[in-house]
A and B are shown apart, each in its own frame.
Chain A
């Protein structure tokens, strides 16, 4: 098709459009949508001009208009708009939302829930500014570091605060001015809002799960990981029931076992001091069982009569020093039992 034919079609369509100016926008758009292509088909049929073949654009428009009239007997149905199912669905959703609006409102002390939401608008503007700043920082700082609470680009807190302030102010201004937006601007704004909300949901879930993971680790430690975590001090008693001072604990590899805190609170003053003890217990005065070592003389016979029995035989005046003597003598007198019973050797050391 040559350009004059194209011009002829364009002009014809424009005159038809002008003649239909009073029709509802949707109907007119519906009628005119395919008209240039249709006229191009006609024009290609022969060499007649469109006006010669079809009459004036105004006459054509009048005939076109007649086809939009309602038909006798109700047939066919009035023209449906395009995307009719979508529009119907939207109408349904709006109806339901309207009902919910009125139902929920009284529960929170308003006629309609939407009245309350309108009051929240400025809060949304601030939140929107914050989310926009976070989104910008996230995309500019791609893969740099995990998302925190500030819109950081690089590591500068100042830049983050400036970005945050700038976007919050911009968002408030955008909300406050009742800006008259043309269609595409409105769509862009709505699209941007949708992206921000998705971004916010993603970020929120991300942050939530990372915080919960920390909790989970803590719970693991106190739950089943280390049953001795509550231990603050360790008291070792020998088989006499005597508290062993300065005890050291080692595992099977010879590594020291660290338990408890090396701090004691002085029961008299309440002061907390680093322990002076070189081993366990850190705080001997907090021993849970009264130790017989504090009063050796009267109690010595009670816990273990077997070892104390030799003592009266040798010498009664000095019971405290007498106990090693029989022990060495008994060990010397019977060496074979020592070999056979290693458990008897510790007292000699």
Chain B
């Protein structure tokens, strides 16, 4: 069945790399949910939604890649911070390599098409 063509759009691509994106956003500093969303958007991933980040954080935490702790806040609700643990860092490195390999393959492929 080749009746439909998968058009490349950012939302679909994001779905495959959201875990990696969230892990990367936590590489240098721990953060709470909304904080991480802001980091991703500041990095250029405008399409990413709050539910995606929240759901991804929950799943990464459940998968044992993150640790978490609550920080009391004076002017608002307590914030739940997430941070990478050893498994999270290892996963970030491994998945990062997979992504770079994949991205460079796609780059090469596209470049060949352009030159051909």
Contacts and interface: CB of A to CB of B under 8 A. Distances in A.
Contacts of A77: 63
B77 A64 contact: no
B16 A38 contact: no
Nearest to A53: B50
* Top-4 shortest CB links A-B: A67-B55, A63-B51, A44-B76, A40-B77
Given A34-B80, A38-B80, A63-B49, A80 B58 contact: no
Given A71-B16, A80-B62, A41 B95 contact: no
B69 interface: no
B63 A72 contact: no
Interface of B is mostly: helix
Interface string B72-87: 0001111110000000
A1 interface: yes
B11 to A, nearest CB: 9
Given A38-B33, A60-B51, A63-B52, A82 B62 contact: yes
A83 to B, nearest CB: 11
Interface size class of A (residues with CB under 8 A): 35 or more
Interface of A is mostly: helix
Interface of B: 15-16, 18-20, 32-34, 49-52, 54-56, 58-60, 62-65, 75-80, 91, 95, 98
Given A55-B49, A78-B63, 17 more contacts: A34-B54, A40-B77, A41-B76, A42-B34, A44-B77, A54-B51, A61-B51, A64-B55, A67-B52, A68-B59, A71-B19, A73-B98, A76-B19, A76-B63, A79-B62, A81-B62, A82-B62
A71 B55 CA distance: 14
14 contacts: A30-B59, A37-B77, A41-B79, A53-B50, A54-B50, A55-B49, A64-B52, A66-B55, A67-B51, A73-B98, A76-B19, A77-B63, A79-B62, A82-B62
